[in-house]
Amino acid sequence: LTIKDGAPFSRRDLVTFLEKNNIQTRPLFTGNILHQPAYADMNYGNKALYPVADNIMKYSFVIGCHQGVSASHLAYIKKTFTSFLDRY
C-alpha cells in the first residue's frame, strides 16, 4: 500500500493506527536500494535519479497476508481501515 504524497495523514499515522488495532504492518525494504548502507561505497550512480523508488521507501508499507486470513479477518481489516479513513 502506498500513501499518496499530500494525503491528509502520513504513513506513520496509518501504520500506528493499524498496529494499535492488531493489524501487523511492515515497511518495504524495496525502493531505492542505493540508500541502504551496504551500497554506500559502491558507485551505482546518482541516488536522486530514482524518485519513484524514493517514494516507495517513504510512503509504502505492507500488511500481513497468508493462507490463514479468513473472511472475518478481511472484514476486520476493512472495518479498521474505514474507521481510520472516516476521520479524514
User: What would the pLDDT profile of 54-81 be if each residue is shown by its tens digit?
Assistant: 888 889 999 988 899 999 999 999 999 9
**More confident: 58 or 19:** 19
7 touches 86 (CB < 8 A): no
CA angle at residue 69 from 64 to 74, to 5 degrees? 85
DSSP 11-67: HHHHHHHHHHTT--EEE-S-S-GGGSGGGTTS----GGG-HHHHHHHHHBEEE---T
* pLDDT score recorded for residue 46: 77
DSSP letter for 68, please.
T
* pLDDT score recorded for residue 2: 95
